[in-house]
Structure 1
Amino acid sequence: MRLRLPEERPTEPPTGYKIAHPMLSQDGTRAGFTGVSLGGALPYGVLADASCVYGLRHRAPSRRCDCGFHCVHDRTVAEALLCTAEHRAAALLEVTVLGRYIRFERGFRYARQRVRTATVGPCVCGTVAAALADAGWGRPGWRALAPSCAGCLRGRTSVSLAGFARLGAQGLRVVAGKGASVALTGPGPADGLGVPELAAEAALLQARLDWFQAQLARLGEHGPGGGGRQG
């Protein structure tokens, strides 16, 4: 007697979470991701179909194989993976599970996915990321990217968060996670900052300007010599 897994027919595609490294094609025209474990050698697009990483000719996912895309049900479980040293520069992905899938206690193994949102962490200096820059490694034809603030780009190949989303297409959203907010120490590329980052920088610069104006007003009350005015 052959046992069959129970079939599910959801009214809407399930949602899952995973981590992956953002990738930029060598010519800079395509954006994608690569996994952190099984299948990490094969970058994939925002909308992609899984294939067997072992080269077998069955459809993924197969019950007798561990091929296919993988994700977990709980966002906090995926976020916890970002704590390890080798995964600090990875992005947190929210994905739509498409096609055939196998449900497990903690997640899915499935045939097709669409990456809806990619949340990137802060720059290595702790500042909110404004761009994704060359991480110093990659795959054939692809550069791995890591979060970077405008001040830490230092001429590296980079793309703004909005630019990466445009290259990925398919409705992808790329957002910056938590980090410190500091004023720019020098000019950065025009496309290196999105509207939220520019708004934060403008608010900080305005606060500094208000402080300087208050100091000038205080000094003016005491006169150029620093003492009080005399009649």
Structure 2
Amino acid sequence: MRPRLPDERPTEPPTGYKIAHPVLDADGGCAGFLGVSLGAAAPYRVLDEARCVYGRRHRAPHRRCDCGFHCVHERRVAAGLLVQAEYRKAVLLEVSVLGSYIRFERGFRYERQRVRTATVGPCPCGATASVLADAGWGRDGRRVLEAACGGCAGGRRRWTLDTFARLAGDGLTVWAEPGTGPVGPAPDMPELVAEAALLQARLDWFQGQLSRLGRAMGGDGPHPRD
């Protein structure tokens, strides 16, 4: 008979890490998260209790089921999942493991949780994200959001990180991971036209200077363009 592991009675809730998609109710009144694997079946709030996703009546986490919230022990392990193509637009969560839990080698399966922080990655353009914009899909009456800078968000509906944290409530803090690309919105067409006109004016001035220099040296020198 396999011996049972001793019961743990920590003085403070264990800390874990996971990834999820930020979501917002369709009416914009409350924010939360949507898991990326088994948890994708049911969005959850910052402070929430797990329920069996298979509809069974037992309390999560049950030893003979895989229901319950899931997280890993190490931040770097959870962050490593974000390099996978299907998870690139998820965010990194730091959670407090509450209630009953089952400890595994790499993480926990547990009854309740409080999401303490959410770290938002850079915008796909490389700039530091300043908003969470509508990702174009959702589930169970919630719209999924994704990190973006002001320029790349375009005309999509958007919410600042502070607004999302306020709508989520329960003390959530949302951080933006520093980007490695350009800061601010990309130039639009009027800006590009103005820049081209400035360059043309400088080129005309330069050609004029060459023409005057050529005449001063006794030659015709280059002539300005027609």
The amino acid across from 1:182 in the alignment is: V
SS of aligned partner of 1:79: helix
Q: Is 1:182 the equivalent of 2:175?
A: no
- Which residue of structure 1 lines up, in the alignment, with residue 216 of structure 2? none
Whole-angstrom CA distance in 2 between matches of 1:183 and 1:148: 11
Whole-angstrom CA distance in 2 between matches of 1:83 and 1:185: 25
SS of aligned partner of 1:53: coil
- Which residue of structure 1 lines up, in the alignment, with residue 9 of structure 2? 9
Greater mean alpha carbon deviation, residues 175-184 or residues 36-45 = 175-184
Whole-angstrom CA distance in 1 between matches of 2:2 and 2:168: 42
- Structure 1 residue 178: Cα displacement: 2.5
SS of aligned partner of 1:175: strand
SS of aligned partner of 2:162: helix
- Which residue of structure 1 lines up, in the alignment, with residue 42 of structure 2? 42
SS of aligned partner of 1:40: helix
The amino acid across from 2:140 in the alignment is: P
User: RMSD of aligned C-alpha atoms?
Assistant: 1.9
Contact 2:161/2:174 (<8 A) preserved: yes
Whole-angstrom CA distance in 1 between matches of 2:185 and 2:4: 60
Write out aligned runs for 1:12-91 (5 A): 12-91=12-91
SS of aligned partner of 2:41: coil
The amino acid across from 1:96 in the alignment is: S
Percent of aligned pairs with the same residue?
66
The TM-score with structure 1 as length reference comes to 0.78
Q: Is 1:157 the equivalent of 2:150?
A: no
String of CA shifts for 1:110-141, please: whole Å, max 9, x gaps: 00000000001111111110000011111021
Consecutive unaligned residues of structure 2, counting only runs of 5 or more, are 189-208, 210-226
Write out aligned runs for 1:60-139 (5 A): 60-139=60-139
SS of aligned partner of 1:12: coil
Whole-angstrom CA distance in 1 between matches of 2:52 and 2:5: 21
Consecutive unaligned residues of structure 1, counting only runs of 5 or more, are 188-224, 226-231
Whole-angstrom CA distance in 2 between matches of 1:172 and 1:79: 19
- Which residue of structure 2 lines up, in the alignment, with residue 218 of structure 1? none
Whole-angstrom CA distance in 1 between matches of 2:26 and 2:152: 21
The amino acid across from 1:24 in the alignment is: L
- Structure 1 residue 37: Cα displacement: 0.3
- Structure 1 residue 185: Cα displacement: 4.9
- Which residue of structure 2 lines up, in the alignment, with residue 206 of structure 1? none
Greater radius of gyration (CA): 2
The amino acid across from 2:123 in the alignment is: C
- Structure 1 residue 186: Cα displacement: 7.2
Whole-angstrom CA distance in 2 between matches of 1:104 and 1:110: 11
Greater mean alpha carbon deviation, residues 104-113 or residues 152-161 = 152-161
Whole-angstrom CA distance in 2 between matches of 1:60 and 1:149: 39
**Where does structure 1 differ by over 6 angstroms across 4 or more consecutive aligned residues?**
none
String of CA shifts for 1:154-180, please: whole Å, max 9, x gaps: 121211000000001100000101213
